[in-house]
Amino acid sequence: MVVQGDLVALTAAEAARRIRAGSLTSVQLVTACLERIQERDPDLAAWVDVDAESALAEAAVRDAAAPQGALHGVPVGIKDNADAVPFFTRFGSPIYRNNKRCRDAAHVAKLRAAGAVILGKTVTTEFATFPPGPTRNPRAPGRTPGGSSSGSAAALADHHVPLATGSQTVSSLVRPAAFCGVYAWKASFGRLPLEGVLATSATLDTLGFLARSVDDFLLLHEIFLGELPRPPARTSLRIGLHAGPTSNDWHPEMQGLLARAGETLRQAGMSVVDVDPMPFSVDAGIERHWQIMTHEIAALLAPRIQGEESQVTAALLDMLEEGRRVSRATYVEAMEGRESDRAALAGMWADCDLLLTPAALGPATPGLDSTGDPLCGRLWSYLAVPSIACPMGATEADRLPLGLQTIGPEGQDGATMLATKIIADIVGSPFAP
């Protein structure tokens, strides 16, 4: 007997393996996910749109064909800032409530070609920025799920779907993953295709995914980036613990988690060192990120809302105004400083293979009127490097997720994944898939 609870808890990699082996059908898995969504999403609000009929028809087609792609028959949720047929693309705004698209975004087409079944569209915040959407955190309904990939993270954590897409300009993948207790991969800038995805920042927007294991990202690397490099020897890894100038703002249990993780890795035979300070000014980098982002968001989003300002939140309008106040000269100077900082970080990898640092300041922020502080992801989005968030801890009193993230060299997403898998397996997670 196939039990819904068993199926909806599968990782994408395990689901793909079972479908390929013939012990599970895509229709069975999709049906279990749809039943879970019907049962749970009225309270959670992780989904904008689900097309059960289309998903089951697509799953039946997969079952009738010999498995070929790495995600054959596996259901996937698509963040609602990307085009996916037959769904509307609303960008989290009523302005685009009737925005029907006739072509998949490039990454959605790639997922379909790999055999994935598109289940529906997950909630994003307003134009994938900071004003929150309706989604609740399944681990703690009175706390934020983060943003802007909030629907995808909540859907993963609540076992609606084994894999979902996301994107990040500041901290929109790693923060919701940390708050909801799932995994996120923010790719190196430019490594994954953005055609068909809402553009907010031409030099910072980065595609990524949310999943229940690092193994799922290895499958995605095969689909999007090709063959993985050779896995590193565990004892050869050199891990840098990065606290940074924000450590005084951390939740006390986050400080303990990073220290314990470092000690666990040392006991496993790895070289673990503190990497502070960074080889550039972190504070200056964070300020440059804000200048670049707001300047580009003002240029890209203002035309989309022209004449419709009454349907936009005051918070978004304020951010657009901030961006307009960033002069062209300031923007150019920030971009030049960014290139200098990226070069300085690149030089650091001669002495360190990977950084381990918090994915958020602490557990999910109480209340639903904010998506939480994005500080812990901001620097790594600015520097264009890959980052992978992992749910490596929980608060003692109420078991709220605490996430750490690994940071690797720019363009080395596969090597970062393989090293992260080793680290995640050693440190462990209190949250089973």
| Catalytic residue IDs | 79, 148, 172
Rg (CA), the chain: 20
What is the C-alpha separation between 212 and 10, in angstroms, rounded? 8
Provide CB contacts within 8 A for 208, sequence distance 6+: 149, 165, 166, 167, 168, 173, 184, 185, 186, 187, 192
What is the C-alpha separation between 149 and 152, in angstroms, rounded? 6
Count of CA atoms in the C-beta half-sphere (13 A) of 150: 35
- Return the sign of the alpha-carbon dihedral for residues 421, 423, 425, 430: negative
Q: DSSP state, 230?
A: P
What is the C-alpha separation between 235 and 320, in angstroms, rounded? 48
Q: Tell me whether strands 183-186 and 206-211 are parallel, antiparallel or unpaired.
A: antiparallel
Helices (H), 349-400: 375-382
Helices (H), 158-281: 174-180, 214-224, 252-267
Q: Which residues pair with 133 in a beta bridge?
A: none
Burial class (CB in 10 A: 0-12, 13-18, 19+), 347: exposed
Q: Tell me whether strands 238-241 and 271-274 are parallel, antiparallel or unpaired.
A: parallel
What is the C-alpha separation between 57 and 31, in angstroms, rounded? 11
